[in-house]
Amino acid sequence: MLDTMTDLKSLLKDPSLLETRAYIGGNWVEGDHGTFDVTNPARGDVIAQVSDVSRVQVAGAITQANTAQKDWAKWTGKERAAVLRKWFDLMIENQSDLGIILTAEMGKPLAESVGEIAYGASFIEFFAEEAKRIYGETIPGHQRDKRITVIKQPIGVAASITPWNFPNAMITRKAGPALAAGCAFVARPAAETPLSAIVLGVLAERAGIPAGVFNVVPSSRSSEIGKEFCENDAVRKLTFTGSTEVGRILLRQAADSVMKCSMELGGNAPFIVFDDADLDAAVEGAILCKFRNNGQTCVCANRIYVQAGVYDAFAEKLRARVADMKVGDGLEDGTIFGPLINADAVVKVQEHIADATAKGANVILGGNPSSLGGTFFEPTIVTGATRDMAFSTDETFGPLAPLFKFEDEDEVIAMANDTIFGLASYFYAKDLSRVYKVAEALEYGIVGVNTGIISTEVAPFGGVKQSGLGREGSHHGIEDYLEMKYICMSV
Ligand SMILES: NC(=O)C1=CN([C@@H]2O[C@H](COP(=O)(O)OP(=O)(O)OC[C@H]3O[C@@H](n4cnc5c(N)ncnc54)[C@H](OP(=O)(O)O)[C@@H]3O)[C@@H](O)[C@H]2O)C=CC1
Ligand SMILES: O=C(O)[C@H](O)CS(=O)(=O)O
């Protein structure tokens, strides 16, 4: 159990990793606004007090990043690759400590946190390699005396705003391609989870990433910092992961400077089980997809559609499997469900359950706050879900699995696509023509077929419709941090 910073440091092999200051221009800096508290969601205790930087300090960080970026861009791709690889190596060497810090501030079970560190580090490893493969092209001249070449150059200073639910990976998924491309980076983490971002600065410094290339500006004033990112002409790229609501605000603010934006926004993932599915595999996939991070991911199943012929069997198998899973402190062995991030998250789950039962749904498992108190909540499954219920259109972002019944493919494809979101979708089926038809018909950036987990650094992650703009990960991911220049030469 945690209740002070001393307690947290005592759990670490290397207590010096637990830094609370801002990392600006290679210096560790106190905040102009003093500090803000970081609490452990499992107990609500303050585990750290972190530098609360001002908008002026963020402007200074951007200026230092802009200066550092000019030299960083002159490094060869191979030179940048070497120092990024060292950064990756340090993340893996300190994976256990980084996992403990992440669980302490975010609450997810330690096994998930340690897994997130590996997932986050994989983006640094992947884009260290991509740094060496930023190719241009030559194009046959349009006139006899013309020679055409195309080169790709780093966009400049990239600013990032990231959420609390993956406080390590959502930063490295952006910083990896940005630094590989030769950009400099200013990261503003969620106020709930700044420690995981700051420790990336500690390791960046140890890896030899030049001062000013990677900066971390923790702040309790998210909208103020967001405005600085959008209004400062030295920022050439804004990359955001979070809700669609905040994404819209940032896009409006960035429009004034026609700033290039990458947006990884909200989701409302359908998870479809057809009657020819391997039912046991579908149950395991639904558990991973729905309950990973306690349902607090943008790619979690938000609606589970089960074909009529297998509905009752699926519901009972799912109930039986989840009933035995442990709710508890993320640092305790065997915990599957940690606490939700805050009281508002608990309220939203309760509202969705109350709305559903008022409209005829049946709770077959859970349905209440956990007897542990605080923000712990029972994993919940409801049957009889219908499209008029709140979770049909609104992302629950918690451990609530609503089961909808459907009759045929056309009906479920129409229901699955009936949303403003389009990030991740999933279905279980064996018939090959069904797999092709459904995968092509789903209006989502990501389709998982016979799997509930789709997250990897090698694939392009991102949404369509109001789930976002751009892709992160894969060889496509570096393009968002490059500008293409066409050189026309008369010879
Ligand atoms: N598509 C994706 O990959 C992901 C999408 N999400 C979506 O985000 C939501 C949950 O995450 P949550 O953190 O609550 O999302 P929010 O959008 O509320 O917050 C995301 C980040 O934006 C900051 N922020 C909030 N308001 C502003 C503003 N006006 N200007 C600048 N920054 C601001 C927050 O800071 P602070 O917290 O300090 O206020 C936080 O760092 C869900 O809808 C989920 O689907 C989440 C993760 C990944
Ligand atoms: O924040 C999220 O929900 C992540 O984007 C999901 S994933 O990439 O970790 O799957």
pLDDT tens-digit map of 405-450: 999 999 999 999 999 999 999 999 999 999 999 999 999 999 999 9
483 within domain boundaries: yes
Q: Nearest residue CA, atom 37 of ligand 1?
A: 190
Q: pLDDT tens, 262-276?
A: 999 999 999 999 999
Do 316 and 279 lie in one domain? The reply is: yes
Query: Any idea which ligand is nearest the CA of 193?
Result: 1
Q: Is the CB of 125 under 6 A from ligand 1?
A: no
Do 178 and 295 lie in one domain? The reply is: no
pLDDT band at residue 4 under the 50/70/90 scheme: confident
Q: Which residues, 6+ apart, have CB-to-CB distance to 448 below 8 Å?
A: 285, 289, 424, 425, 426, 427, 454
Tell me how far apart the alpha carbons of residues 30 and 54 are, in angstroms, rounded to a whole number. 10
Residue 381 CA to ligand 1 center (angstroms) comes to 26
461 within domain boundaries: no
Identity at 61, one-letter amino acid code: A
Do 302 and 372 lie in one domain? The reply is: yes
Position 141 pLDDT exceeds 70: yes
Position 3 pLDDT exceeds 80: no
Q: Is the CB of 161 under 6 A from ligand 1?
A: yes
Q: Is the CB of 264 under 6 A from ligand 1?
A: yes
Do 126 and 101 lie in one domain? The reply is: yes
Q: What is the pLDDT of residue 356?
A: 98
458 within domain boundaries: no
Position 348 pLDDT exceeds 80: yes
Residue 331 CA to ligand 2 center (angstroms) comes to 21
CATH classification at residue 362 = 3.40.309.10
Do 175 and 297 lie in one domain? The reply is: no
User: How many degrees, rounded to 5, is the angle at CA 94 between CA 19 and CA 291?
Assistant: 95
Residue 135 CA to ligand 1 center (angstroms) comes to 34
455 within domain boundaries: no
Q: Is the CB of 267 under 6 A from ligand 1?
A: yes
Active site residue 264: yes
DSSP string, 212-280: TTEEE---S-HHHHHHHHHH-TTEEEEEEES-HHHHHHHHHHHHTTT-EEEEE----EEEEE-TTS-HH
Q: Is the CB of 219 under 6 A from ligand 2?
A: no
CATH classification at residue 42 = 3.40.605.10
CB contact at 8 A, 176 and 78: no
Do 216 and 134 lie in one domain? The reply is: yes
Q: Is the CB of 190 under 6 A from ligand 1?
A: yes
Quick one: which atom of ligand 2 is closest to the CA of 119? 9
Q: What is the dihedral of CA 336, 339, 344, 348, to 10 degrees?
A: 20
Q: Nearest residue CA, atom 3 of ligand 2?
A: 297
pLDDT band at residue 1 under the 50/70/90 scheme: low
Q: Is 50 helix (H, G, I), strand (E, B) or coil?
A: strand
Do 282 and 246 lie in one domain? The reply is: no
Instruction: Quote the number of domains for the chain.
Output: 2
What percentage of the chain exceeds 70 in pLDDT?
A: 100
Residue 292 CA to ligand 2 center (angstroms) comes to 10
Q: Nearest residue CA, atom 36 of ligand 1?
A: 190
Pocket test for ligand 1, best of 165, 170, 294 (most atoms within 8 A of CB): 165
Domain containing 382: what range?
A: 269-449
116 within domain boundaries: yes
Do 217 and 343 lie in one domain? The reply is: no
Q: Which token pair is 379?
A: 């994993």
Q: Is 311 helix (H, G, I), strand (E, B) or coil?
A: helix
Do 157 and 175 lie in one domain? The reply is: yes
Quick one: which atom of ligand 1 is closest to the CA of 468? 1
Q: Nearest residue CA, atom 5 of ligand 2?
A: 298
Q: What is the pLDDT of residue 5?
A: 78
**Of 264, 395, 409, 457, which one is the catalytic site residue?**
264
2 within domain boundaries: no
- Give the number of other Cβ atoms within 10 Å of residue 43's Cβ: 16
Do 155 and 18 lie in one domain? The reply is: yes
Pocket test for ligand 1, best of 162, 246, 342 (most atoms within 8 A of CB): 246
Mean pLDDT of 338-342: 98
Query: Any idea which ligand is nearest the CA of 173?
Result: 2
Quick one: which atom of ligand 1 is closest to the CA of 244? 43
1 within domain boundaries: no
User: What's the chain's average pLDDT?
Assistant: 98
Residue 297 CA to ligand 2 center (angstroms) comes to 6
Residue 196 CA to ligand 2 center (angstroms) comes to 16
Q: pLDDT tens, 18-70?
A: 999 999 999 999 999 999 999 999 999 999 999 999 999 999 999 999 999 99
Start-to-end CA span in the chain (Å):
72
Do 110 and 258 lie in one domain? The reply is: yes
73 within domain boundaries: yes
Residue 396 CA to ligand 2 center (angstroms) comes to 15
Position 2 pLDDT exceeds 80: no
Do 116 and 244 lie in one domain? The reply is: yes
The ipTM, to two decimals, is 0.94
Nearest residue to 413 via CA among 431, 396, 395, 434: 434
Q: CA-based diameter of the chain, in Å?
A: 80
Q: Nearest residue CA, atom 8 of ligand 2?
A: 455
Q: Is the CB of 298 under 6 A from ligand 2?
A: yes
User: How many degrees, rounded to 5, is the angle at CA 93 between CA 89 and CA 99?
Assistant: 115
Tell me how far apart the alpha carbons of residues 424 and 444 are, in angstroms, rounded to a whole number. 6
Strands 362-365 and 380-385: antiparallel
Query: Any idea which ligand is nearest the CA of 106?
Result: 1
Q: pLDDT tens, 189-243?
A: 999 999 999 999 999 999 999 999 999 999 999 999 999 999 999 999 999 999 9
Residue 241 CA to ligand 1 center (angstroms) comes to 6
